[in-house]
Structure 1
């Protein structure tokens, strides 16, 4: 990953991505690739690398993986939309090396472009991790731990999200369980408070994201820990 100092992204509104949305063809992208690399991909890599260093001490029992910027190319194999490019740049700081793709925990995920946001946690879980997560949420002691953590984050402007949320509590668990909303989820992340576009063009966005990533660390440790069977 890049070791350059993060100095901000190309602009506040993701003008490159707005143009890319209108020109979803390889010829246009090839002609403008340098704009993406220099204005978005490289700065994102630098931001993630600096943020990783800032939060590393908060994960003494986990191994933080190297910061990673995702490819801009979309996986269109199973999609009706064959547009070849994403309209954002995204990347994460993972915990460990998950054997199942769904089981990736992130100390930090950042997306910038036509829509910009940051988050942390496990967006989705494979069957084994999900079973452990549900057992922990249903458990009186461990369930109250995550409930308290979540309530504290919500008060600070964070919100919950997941890849999928069931309409009902999974079979075998109390339908009126006090943590029913957590039990319905098939993954669990916290969305950070809204990122201010004006901050994207300076180091202010790094300061903001690191502050939120530190606040979210107890949440990520809990989710990643139970998913791994700790």
Structure 2
């Protein structure tokens, strides 16, 4: 679980997204950061029970800076109004598929998969879906998977089939995808629940067959 003060800080930051306010509330930010890291350490330990390499990760290496990169953005707000963690067995900056947790008042969610992979990796994923469509259908059709990820695979998709495929391919709806992401939302009350770590870990465990499929494709 996360403390109510963590969500309050993020709400207040959204209303006061400027450096003077942030510096005046740095102690609250540090407390928010520590609360999140403590929760992530528990989550990593729980994930290690079903994805052993994840257990070797350190929470501080799975998080992102609060500062936004505003160089190419019209929005010059200096800070993110969320905190997030990404868990990939090969590290935060590794290619491939991983697990993601996003905490934002009114918009928290757990997600996983691979977002906009490099063309060579995208081609491998499409080929693997085509060659192993029975396995893919088994993952997509799993009852727990469908119940947890009600929107199915998300992300931008092509209008036309990519080169080498046609609309008659039974897997074409997935082959057209440019990203392969599943998500599950969490309410603010759920984020603050004593069962939050357990629920997020269960969500990640349910998506693990997808993570494994995508990683096998690109590796």
TM exceeding 0.5: yes
**Structure 1 position 86 matched with structure 2 position 80:** yes
Which residue is equivalent to 1:42? 34
Counterparts of 1:94-173 in structure 2, within 5 Å, are 94-97=88-91, 103-106=95-98, 108-114=99-105, 115-139=107-131, 142-152=132-142, 153-158=144-149, 159-173=151-165
**Structure 1 position 58 matched with structure 2 position 43:** no
Q: Please give the per-residue CA displacement for 1:5-46, whole angstroms capped at 9, x wherever unaligned.
A: xx523359x33223222222111111112223313x222222
Deviation of residue 146 (structure 1)?
1.8
TM-score of the pair, normalised by structure 1: 0.81
Decide whether the 8 Å contact of 1:123 with 1:162 is kept in 2: no
**Structure 1 position 178 matched with structure 2 position 170:** yes
Moved more, 87-96 or 53-62: 53-62
Deviation of residue 65 (structure 1)?
4.0
Deviation of residue 161 (structure 1)?
4.7
Aligned length: 214
**Structure 1 position 221 matched with structure 2 position 215:** no
Decide whether the 8 Å contact of 1:87 with 1:113 is kept in 2: yes
Deviation of residue 147 (structure 1)?
2.1
For residue 15 of structure 2, the aligned residue among 22, 26, 35 is 22
Deviation of residue 123 (structure 1)?
2.0
Matched residues in 1 for 2:109 and 2:208: separation?
17
Matched position secondary structure for 1:58: coil
Gaps of 5+ in 2: none
Gaps of 5+ in 1: 1-6
Which residue is equivalent to 2:24? 31
Which residue is equivalent to 1:203? 194
Matched residues in 1 for 2:153 and 2:75: separation?
24
Decide whether the 8 Å contact of 1:125 with 1:187 is kept in 2: yes
Matched position secondary structure for 2:178: coil
Decide whether the 8 Å contact of 1:72 with 1:86 is kept in 2: yes
Matched residues in 2 for 1:160 and 1:102: separation?
24
Q: Please give the per-residue CA displacement for 1:141-165, whole angstroms capped at 9, x wherever unaligned.
A: x222122212225422313455532
Structure-2 change in CA distance of 1:160 and 1:146 (3 Å): same
TM-score of the pair, normalised by structure 2: 0.85
